[in-house]
Chains A and B, each alone.
Chain A
């Protein structure tokens, strides 16, 4: 199985901040990485796939980068609706695996 290390687990930030979340793989996965946002009581929503492709309808303040083993999700200017939990997920091989999650909270 491919192990994923997502960091930080908790991120305190203010509206307008630029925030970065990291995801590191135990082995290379090319660009087969997705990012999701989840709000309490809701199903996750896809933000980014293929490491850097923005899903339709997702605001351009979200961006993804990386390939191989190291990936990053960046929110350029945090908005109030962005306070949520974020997960990375690899779809390079089975079993599919998720990162542990990053909760972005209001500072």
Chain B
């Protein structure tokens, strides 16, 4: 069965960096797009970033563009999120998420919802 396990969260000072990992199993990792979604304490869900199955396309939320980088290592079945220039407002639980039903339309793009989520890893940005 599909398993997504995040790691790498912790406490970091404003301006600092952190790299999150998401270890995937139970499916052919190299065939599916992957996402990061976050949730600040007591707040709603916020989509963060997406990477295509082969790493050739990436999309970011405006709130993290230029500071965060999504990447993947298909040989290790692992998704990453490199977070730089961290701010207090980046404090959140970070989830990796994906869908086995995702598909590409050559004309209009990639369509997928989130039927699998990890358990989340907490990032706290504080001095």
Contacts and interface: CB of A to CB of B under 8 A. Distances in A.
B54 interface: no
Contacts, number: 54
A43 B47 contact: no
Interface string B87-127: 00000000100000100000001011111011110000000
B50 interface: yes
Nearest to B45: A98
B34 to A, nearest CB: 12
Contact of B35 (A49, A55, A92, A96): A96
A93 B109 contact: yes
A45 B118 CA distance: 11
Interface in B17-74: 35, 44-47, 50, 59-62
B119 A96 contact: no
Contact of B113 (A46, A93, A101): A46
A89 B114 contact: yes
Nearest to B61: A95
Given A95-B59, A98-B45, A44 B50 contact: no
Contacts of B35: 96
Contact of A49 (B47, B50, B61, B115): B115
B70 to A, nearest CB: 12
A43 B119 contact: yes
Interface of B: 35, 44-47, 50, 59-62, 95, 101, 109, 111-115, 117-120
Given A32-B111, A101-B45, 17 more contacts: A34-B114, A43-B118, A45-B117, A46-B114, A46-B115, A55-B115, A87-B44, A89-B113, A91-B111, A91-B112, A91-B113, A92-B111, A94-B50, A95-B47, A96-B47, A96-B50, A98-B46
Interface of A: 1, 32, 34, 36, 38, 43-46, 49, 55, 87, 89, 91-101
| A-B complex: 6 closest residue pairs judged by Cβ atoms | A34-B113, A43-B117, A96-B47, A94-B59, A101-B44, A98-B45
